[in-house]
Amino acid sequence: MSTVVEKILTKKGRAQGRLAVVDIDYIMSHDTTTPLAIDAFDKFADHMIHKDKIVIVFDHMVPPSYPDAAFNQRYMKEFCRKYGIRFFEGYGICHTLMLEKGFVKPWGVIVGGDSHTPVYGVAGAVGLGMGSTDIAAAWRTGQTWLEIPESIKIEITGRMPKGVTSKDIALAYVKEITLSGGQEKALEFCGDALKGMDVYEKMPIGIMAAECTAVTEVFQDESNDLIPDKGVSYFDEVSIQVDGLEPLIACPHSPDNVKTVSEVEGRDVNQVFIGSCTNGTIHDLRTAARILKGRKTNPYVRTLVLPATIEIYRQALREGLIDTILESGAMVCTPPGCGPCIGRHQGVLGDYDVCVSTSNRNYQGRMGSPKGEVYISSPATAAATALEGKIADPRRYL
Amino acid sequence: MGHAWVFGDNVSTDYIIPGRFNITSDPKELRKYAFNYARPEFVEQVKPGDVVIGGKNFGCGSSREHAAIVLRECGVYLVANSYGWIFRRNCINLGVLPLEMAEKSQIRDGDLVELDMTKLLLKDVITGSIQRLNPVPQFVLDIYRSGGLVEYLNKAKTYSV
């Protein structure tokens, strides 16, 4: 009897006990992790390369803000040119782009040089986050090794109340499982609350699996036969009831330090960031625009909105969302990328800055100064906070 | 023998090297920022042979291999109750052995420690307390003994499972 993750990984590989070697469909990496992967690849005795499996995305610093980063990006492009590898520069954030461009398919296995690669489970694939040397080895062999993880089942049931989003569901389970609770394990999501959500709305739930240090995650899906065997045993089972859920917020300096927004309401804020792989989709821009429409953001708050991809940006332009957001006084930053989430450009925090961000992790120093503070919330809470200049409950604006 | 650098649970890779410094691949440049925010004295005082001791989930968070590189560059041994999945692989791949211990460490920060890799013991020379280390899985040992993943694959050509 197998879990969904066990089924996918055993179908794609050969296992000896729990130790398995699996075939990979796609190998994704970006401008932070690729340069070191090229260095490692150059050390292989021969340069056989699975070039058709490789996808390289420039998103962590586009365009580069420092000479070292610019040098690395040219180094990456020369590598892509040499081997005829596909790459995307300025098109958007790797994970959203991978879904948008159709690289992620049910029953697939994708490795990515980024810790949030497990998100591909929203479309029924096993995504494995890895470092640069593992990426280079995948380029070379088309395979990777791992110990097949046991799964934790997370059942999400009920109807979402007004002002509560899929990000609040994500924060609810991260609080429950904690930062280390997913170690060496996979998360499998199921339950009626997920019905009717498309892959983009599921993204915050999939992304935040990394914040429990899970190996991977997958959404169980009957339509693609991604269902566990009857009577399968899980490492653990967690149930999240969304009916009574309130807007939630992860407080400094840990993604599992989750409180209700009402507990921390009124805390002064000087930056709001709506975007990232976690909450930069068209759904998130619609949510933000709905709250910002006809209102003005607080002038003492730097409000930044980053669509996750160019396609999302264009769709938002067509729907008039960008106009609404700009009208409110917020800044829309392009090209799309990871920007403020990693504290490298497009809105880094200074000493004593307090930021409400729709990204995924808030470790000390994550977004800039170690004396800054980051709160992680939904785009609804972030937009309401931008209006008030203080952490605010979005429900009074909906 | 070396000195112990003791850290708590859930030390993230952002803590080992903050994201804004990962814009170069130069190991010597990266080394300057090890534990930059959390323990600024680390880079000045750490010596090869020192032991970094973590709690559970050491190296959680970002996949940045830079975190494993800076520890390799410092020449330290690594012992923790458990590791972030990606960080543990990164260490193995770079030829740094992520040693594990089941019990919570009794070793005091700054104490002189002795690591016995054959008996799998870590001893606090000052207090005399001894930590028992877990055996390292064979497959991990194979990669480590080759000198890292690239060297392993150069020799083995493919994964032998």
pLDDT at B94: 97
Read off the CATH number of the domain in which B140 is found: 3.20.19.10
> Same structural domain for residues A137 and A174?
no
Count of all residues that appear for chain B in the document: 161
- ipTM beyond cut 0.90: yes
Instruction: Flag residues of chain A having pLDDT under 50.
Output: none
| Domain interval for residue A222 | 150-241
Range of the domain at B11: 2-156
What pLDDT band is residue B38 in, cutting at 50, 70 and 90? confident
Beta-strand pair A26-30/A54-58: parallel
Examine the domain organization and report whether A14 and A107 are in the same domain: yes
Residue A275 sits in the same domain as residue A334: yes
In order, the DSSP letters of A32-74 are: TTHHHHHHHHHTSSS----GGGEEEEE-SSSS-SSHHHHHHHH
Is residue B161 assigned to a domain? no
How confident is the model at residue B20, as a pLDDT?
Answer: 85
A126, A147, A168 - which closes a domain: A147
* C-alpha pair distances (Å), A293 with each of A258, A387, B121: 28, 11, 63
Shared domain for A143 and A154, answered yes or no, is no
Average pLDDT, chain B: 95
Q: Are residues A87 and A61 in the same domain?
A: yes
Distance (Å, whole) CA A299 – CA A353: 15
Which residues of chain B neighbour A34 with C-beta distances below 8 Å?
Answer: none
How many domains is chain A partitioned into structurally? 3
Q: In chain B, how many domains are there?
A: 1
Q: How far is C-alpha A215 from the chain's CA centre?
A: 14
Q: Which of A108, A127, A147 lies at the terminal end of a domain, its last residue? A: A147
B102 in a domain, yes or no? yes
Q: What pLDDT score does B161 carry?
A: 74
Whether residue A173 is found in the same domain as residue A137: no
Nearest to A115 among B82, B86, B148 (CB): B86
Share of chain A above pLDDT 70, in %: 100
Q: Would B121 be classed as within a structural domain? A: yes
Decide if pLDDT at B19 tops 80: yes
Residue B22's closest chain A neighbor by CA?
A32
Of A107, A129, A147, which residue is a domain's last? A147
From chain B, the residues in CB contact with A185 under 8 A are none
Whether the CB of A22 is below 8 Å from some CB of chain B: the reply is no
Residue B123 belongs to a domain: yes
pTM for this structure? 0.97
| A259 and A308 share one domain | yes
Q: Are residues A277 and A312 in the same domain?
A: yes
* Of residues B63, B66, B94, nearest to A129 (C-beta): B63
- A299 three-class SS: coil
pLDDT digits (tens, 9 = 90+) for B103-126: 999 999 999 999 999 999 999 999
Q: What angle do CA A242, A248, A251 make, to 5 degrees?
A: 150
Q: Is B148 on the interface with A (CB under 8 A)?
A: yes
Q: What is the CATH number of the domain that holds A291?
A: 3.30.499.10
Q: Which of B10, B64, B139 sits opposite A179 (nearest CB)?
A: B10
Residues A377, A268 share a domain = yes
